Structure 1
Amino acid sequence: MSRIAALTPPYAPDIQAQFDRIMRGAPPLTLFRVMAGHDRAWEKFRAGSLLDRGPLSLREREIVIDRTCALSACEYEWGVHVSVFAQGAGLGAEEIRATVLGSADAPCWSSAERALIAAVDAFHHRSTLREGEFAELKTHYDDDQILEIILLCGFYRTVSYLANGLALPLEDKAERFPAG
């Protein structure tokens, strides 16, 4: 059970419309139901505007999100993303496992993906990039993509704080972290 109660149906029409838009017909996640019960928090959460695709491919986006959540020990959000997006993003079992247990130089990643994961790791551990890390990222990604990478790291770190801090129960259909 979450430390802050989640909304239960029936939802107010405007909240239901927002859930429908975000979830595309699936039941709303516990995280969304908790946040939507608090107008200011829900507004700020949705104002992040990172629930859309943006300038990264789905695969790149999911690598950033999955790695950020894994580093933040957020099985809740990692599991939701892996179960919903991994197949469409073309992430196989080895790559999914590597988001949690692998290093940036794991052989399953392309050179661009290695730079991406190294950037996520740097933001998680140091909140910045060294010049060489930025230069490597810049060889594969343009400015808009780099800004998106940074924003996704920050947004999903915040999502991880929310899910972990609220002790959200894992979603039934979500994946679980691989055993070490």
Structure 2
Amino acid sequence: MSKTVTALNGASWEGGIAHISEAPLQGMITLRGDLNSAAMIKAATGATGQKMPAQGAAQCAGDKGICWMSPDEVLVLCSYAEVGKTLDKMRVHLGDAHSLAVDVSDARALFVVKGANAREVIAKLAPVDLKPAAFTPGMFRRTRMAQVPAAFWMRDEDAFHIVCFRSNAQYMFDLLKTAAQPGSEVGYFATS
């Protein structure tokens, strides 16, 4: 039996203004349907122990969370080893509600950008207002980063989590490293 691995085998880079790393395997389930229905809310919150996020937000703790993707979609995060059990639990809560719950764990890659300049690295790549007053921990955006679709959220003030398609993992890693090159600080978010 082959060993399951991340797209880049846990690659990391510390040579610049932020630390870039591929996160360990993460369970990810796309859940689509009426996000206001009791069945959908129970499926997502029951699987994670997190509250249903508002538009543009993520509710995450540890390897569990719920990220708002669109008016009819959330990304449910869980332990990679527990994806099957989590899906089964979600389907019980969904019952016969019109919905879609699909394991996308192996179709995605997850990266973490950490450090005092993490915000600056992400701002170079995404058309999102990342001023500290405009984008705070717990906020989530689905966007493009350079040439690829991606989504990101802040776990805390100096850490961003980025999810993209697994097929774009090497491109994303290289892109993040380029944006974090030594001496590339712009200083836009520096406080006086």
For Structure 1 versus Structure 2, the TM-score category normalised by the shorter chain is under 0.3
Q: Under a length normalisation based on structure 2, what TM-score does the superposition of the two structures give? A: 0.25
